[in-house]
Structure 1
């Protein structure tokens, strides 16, 4: 079946367009120039941008004796004009990895006659077609929390990826497809070959010692995950240690430990990047110490004193367990924090200190140093702040009562060894009510009143206080209320507006809202989170203890309980909150024309998450959101503001 990239509807393989939303199933849009490109093309024919879906293929001889074929009959062969099956001939004639001609080889393959494994990049020529592995995983995920893979007809190597994938480990590349024929197995995983090497960033002068400690800690986490499946060897290959866009440690692939723990490659006294640090002894955490020593040596970076002692204790066996190693990392981080506070200027904790090593699902939560897990904290700074906004009439309205405003100021200082960026952003979205010449007036008046207030009162390089933000909202309410009184408007004729407002100062943010316009936050680690809670009857009943299905069964469930303008300030109580931007974040302000019917909750992975990448165009992204809302909602005006804030550590070692 073909899965629509827009609405996720399951279509027959013969469909050229989604039968639910009409999206093309044979072409995709180039992210750079918006040209329609066939799904089986590696590059855009207009601008040359690589926009094909590429996977990393691992082709190996089966060592476990597991049986089963995860494909239709005949699948598993590598096709070429002259060689239809394994072993792979060293020929450039090979075009596809499978007889269905779905996976096109992008690299030449050597023969497997004298080696046990080869790797290659492959282009998925049927991007929207669900793979057998994806189908199995999808069915099992709907049936149980942790699937059993023992009975599945899939290769043994693939089972390792599946098992680890269900532990929620972003460091392990997700599996896409796999099959087996005879003693040969093929596994396709996410292609991370172009991700940044850990060694490259380790050796940069601007990389802080705290950041290095954090990577060491992440290795201990992965070690504990990989140990039960005998894949600790994956951490001992330096070229296998990669970083994602958040500079979080990730593996390019899994390496399974052999019984004798033989090295992957011949290693010299000074191993080069990509050299395995495996001895023929059974693996212990001493191997982690040798990896860290090699990273320091190859990066030509000086080891700081406490780390020298830790590595020595690791080598001599004084540190025997992962728990002891984590405890030592914690001690070093506390010591380093103390030294940093003595040598650096005073830091406003509210502005810069955020946790990075915590055992918590919420990145904002700071765990006490008395807990078992270490609490290395890294100061963060803004590295970029971008935004885009757009409003649309919708498909059923005759006039647009939505209004928005964006004001952004960026101050940038860049020197050979210093880069400072200060961002100051005000983002306001209002959804008016009261009909033509009513709702339009109210929403525009609210935006302009708030803009003027903060132009006068937001001067210093810090966020306004909660009292100041509330005062601004009350002034906007008063401006609309006075106009209602002046025009002697009454009942439903009284104009008003919702409000959602975001203020950003560097890595600090504040949000204020009245009504049902929303703020969402998207990060790679946390996914989509709704920050605001609608001011409506149904939500009010839920806060009173009524079950959601009963609360929203009321005919007035979606009626607003608060709005700016219809009544005086005593009738409104704006919600005001503060939060830190401590990882790359996409913030979305949305009117209900965009958020209705759980539209963003359903489509955030296709329309929001990709916008976290620096190369993604926000203007195009907001246009795509408007188009999506018109396809699935369209009953109301639609307004969206997107803000992409990217951050990085700002402490130097």
Structure 2
């Protein structure tokens, strides 16, 4: 009886335990299923959907998969299926999914310092993740990053991230290996300015997606900024597994970096350019360009334009022997503003830029010179449109203007020129990446470190343009020119916002553009499909699309790179140009070359003739402030709120410093008089008003004056490049500038402590 009773009790306990385990298992399964629910971003729907669905089951809205990477100050273990902030689902490692992509969290007014480098480096979004959200839950502080190097199709694998550079280095072609190093060199200076260059010294943070370098996160450099010598030490570890045709070149660069012979990232980029150019001698590239523009279902007039003309399908082949055939060039413009004005502006821009580029293009033109010429071509188009506006007495919102995106191939290099909010995307077998950054208010807020991008988009007027062709003087226009190395097959998509709005490119690139790379359809067919998608899925605007499909046919066995001993001499710096990689610059350097005019005016002022002459020439009217010219948008109710002007200052000195001259900063002796304030270098004129400096310029530094800009209040600012930095004689000196920095100094501040010199060091013109 006892035994039976005991056995029954034991059996009962076993049943209860099994039942409890089963219930817990069911509950855990239910929790996981609930955790994997993705809510529709449509505000009027918000229906729950399984994570693997592409569109909402209820309203067919696209379900964006925002896979994020978390940066947490104190590493806290998380369990799969865990949700924080009532929205972020933990997947594995540091990977999360935003289950409510249509909702907005309460971002703190003062953003955390850890997020600022991501915001200010948004012009490099093709290489870097971007800050998405900041979450504080108890003692946990998490920064979520979007645009991470992740393959969503491998989320269930142990390592869904893009491979590290070191994993693919030994199997890459020599052209790709040098391309990867070239991109790292390009990133060194901007990351150094934000104190995160240590990222480029950690191989685990350097990921690759085909030809692209992609950084997993940014790592603060700490108190001591990393040196180029450390970069050379890292690269020296890769020499043994480099391609035989690239081994000597990589070894040479690493040795020179370690020995300190390469003084700055600009010189390093120039040396890599020289190495890359050797492979272009044996490369053959085929190009196919297809264009199409359409009025759309809701507009009466098409204000867009493109080159080659709409409906074209052009095939070109490039090699050294046939380098003078028609060049691979395509342009897309989206006209804005004024009655029957946008179409005129876009056509003027196409005609002017196309003719200018084809007249000046040469296959051996130095990259920096070519970038300068592309900027000048856009500025000339801007002047033509502005003159048309003035002749027709168009003012404010009636002024016609246009955006512009342009792709120009020069051998194994692609140059992307951009003004406005039309876009360029780069599609390879490894992904789709947005190359350009919209010149709008939202982007400006992010770049200044004021807001996360998704928050900035919610502000009124966030889509208003801060610059477009025809809206202001060319002195105040800053076209963006980016350069990319072609080391495989790919496609550049140029389009107006009739297609890019609503993330249509991100939604359809795999189904509509990737087949072109696979040879399943041609570029002309893909363009026609994309226009149809734009009209049916968006339909609110004109749409214009150009696809530039390129294929690398030769160059797999180029001549070996020159032996290290034959590359001992330091390359001379190229012709000076406006050096700013920022995609949207509020107050860019002047494009006008005044030559000796300021000096002549100064002499005339001394003779008492300057005032009437200045009145006759109307100089003040030529220097219109960019902030006072609102740029029209496709929505006439939205106008950009101008940035504040710099504060009034004393009148400029009668002497002046000339553009394209070298000046030495002299130390002012302490002879009992009041010492001048420190001399600071500002990244832009807007940064000067906010006292955001690149650093202090010590005495005995050597500076190159790239250009000058005069404001309406007659204040003269100099655009400088730091060639060398003087010794730090005072221990309490604030953070100094570094060689290669480019920024602005007020002329009146530099004049009393400068002398002109004619003996440039290496790295200066």
- In terms of fraction of residues, the more helix-rich structure is 2
TM-score, L = length of structure 2: 0.39
